[in-house]
Amino acid sequence: MFVKSYKITEPGCFEIFVEDIKEDNVLVRPEYLAICKADIRYYLGNRSRTVLKRKFPMSLVHEGIGIIARDNGGKFKAGQRVVMVPCEIAECDGSKCEKCVRTYDYLQDNYCPKSSFRSSNADGFSKEMINVKADYLLPIPDGIGEEAVFSELISVGCCALRRAGLWGEKVKEISVWGDGIMGYIIALVAHYGLGAKVNVIGINREKLRLFDFATVYLASDISSLPQTAVCIEAVGGNAAAQAINQAIDATLSGGTIVLCGVSGENAPVNTRMILEKGLALLGSTRSNVGDFEKAISLLQIDDFRERILRLIEGVDVVDDIRKYYEAFENASRSDSLGKRIIKLVF
């Protein structure tokens, strides 16, 4: 079947591709998409030339929901709305690795060397139709609208807390560094998913005002910040080092710091204090199907969903490549907490 897609062929340049795709799994029509910082890095060329050369041409965007066009396996009905999981694993019996990462609860699919991730080492969702294994699709319950496009980000938050061994535990208090969308969502997940009191540390007073479910602190003034057993860094970029070092200071001895931000350069961190306090630093990125299931459960909580809805700054109907460029230009320039989402029409 002929399917159209937008693919990035070099930084700042998209082309329309028409491809004859396989139909051996479930066919899904991507409907609502959200552009992520990782997509913007490709668009702006903020990765090494070698990496870009290896990945391009590639369809971008890994946050999306779609509509089932056809499922020969019978699990889904045509017209059903689904969340599309971007991390997939090829058929694998685990025999090639010493121990399969999927057997470790704290690792799982997103750390499997055989896994592919859309808009990273596989085509993303900027396509008229995609061919997906049924296991990587989750039905969207009634009552949840296009805000389900944030399922991926919510699942990344769920993954971070799962990997830190916190999911299902009663957690009293957590501190989160970062006043961007990732910080907002991880703080929300910690609050509604774990029932924790959440402290958020950021630099932007306007954005911090939107964290009305948490106690907020300016990074320049955290003298009164309580010490917690778990701290989460969701800052990334060049400010990651400062945030990590503040988190090291603010974590109780024997505590855990979960790193979720993608740092710009190598971050110098205070290892002496890590040793003295016996801290564990845990990296977490992406998510798996189980994390998406948790995300969808959270979206069924009215207060949680209402706070996710606040992140939608508008919906742009993208029915030609010019509007696709505009969506990326706007996303590149945006410094706000939320996002404009794309309604994709081919």
Partner 1 sequence: MNIAVILAGGTGSRMGMVDKPKQFIDIYGKPVVIHTIEAFEINENIDAICVICTKEWQEDLSIWIKEYDIRKVRWIGDAGKTRQESSLNALNAIRDDVKDDDIIIIHDSARPLISQRIINDNIEKVKECGACDTVIPAQDTIIRSVDGESLDSIPVRRELYLGQTPQSFRHSIVRKAYDDYFALPENERPVMTDDCGLVLASGAKIGMAMGDKLNMKMTTMEDLLLIKSIVRTSR
The 3 state secondary structure assigned to 127-169 is: ECCEEECHHHEEECCCCCCHHHHHHHHHHHHHHHHHHCCCCCC
Among 48, 50, 79, 333, indicate the residue that binds partner 1 (CB under 8 A): 79
Secondary structure letter of residue 102 according to DSSP: G
Rounded to a whole number of angstroms, the minimum distance from the CB of residue 2 to partner 1 is: 6
Using the minimum distance from each CB to partner 1, give the nearer residue, 15 or 303.
15
Of 337, 21, 308, whose CA–CA distance to 191 is shortest?
A: 308
Residue 345 touching partner 1 (CB under 8 A): yes
* Cα–Cα distance for residue pair 219/232, rounded to 1 Å: 14
Instruction: Specify the stretch interacting with partner 1 by CB under 8 A; choose among 20-28, 107-115, 189-197, 250-258.
Output: 20-28
Residue 161 touching partner 1 (CB under 8 A): no
Hunting for tokens 């993208």 — which residue is that?
318
Query: Tokens representing 302?
Result: 């009215």
- Each residue 25-44 as x (binds partner 1 by CB under 8 A) or -, in order, gives --x-x---------------
Hunting for tokens 């998406």 — which residue is that?
292
Query: Rule CB under 8 A: which of 312-341 touch partner 1?
Result: 319
Residue 17 touching partner 1 (CB under 8 A): yes
Rounded to a whole number of angstroms, the minimum distance from the CB of residue 226 to partner 1 is: 50
Paired with 4 in beta bridges are: 18
Instruction: Specify the stretch interacting with partner 1 by CB under 8 A; choose among 16-24, 158-166, 179-187, 327-335.
Output: 16-24
**Rounded-to-10 torsion of CA 65, 179, 188, 251:** 130
How many residues in total does the chain contain? 346
* Cα–Cα distance for residue pair 151/168, rounded to 1 Å: 19
Residue 67 touching partner 1 (CB under 8 A): yes
Residue 128 touching partner 1 (CB under 8 A): yes
Residue 8 touching partner 1 (CB under 8 A): no
Q: Kindly give the interhelix angle for 289-299 and 302-309, rounded to the nearest 10 degrees.
A: 100
Residue 4 touching partner 1 (CB under 8 A): yes
Rounded to a whole number of angstroms, the minimum distance from the CB of residue 21 to partner 1 is: 5
By CB under 8 A, how many residues form the interface with partner 1?
A: 27
Rounded to a whole number of angstroms, the minimum distance from the CB of residue 261 to partner 1 is: 30
Query: Please, how many CA atoms are within 13 Å of residue 142, restricted to the half-sphere of its CB?
Result: 0
Residue 273 touching partner 1 (CB under 8 A): no
* Cα–Cα distance for residue pair 139/60, rounded to 1 Å: 23
- Residues lying near partner 1 in the complex (CB under 8 A): 1-4, 16-23, 27, 29, 67-70, 72, 78-79, 123, 128-129, 319, 345-346
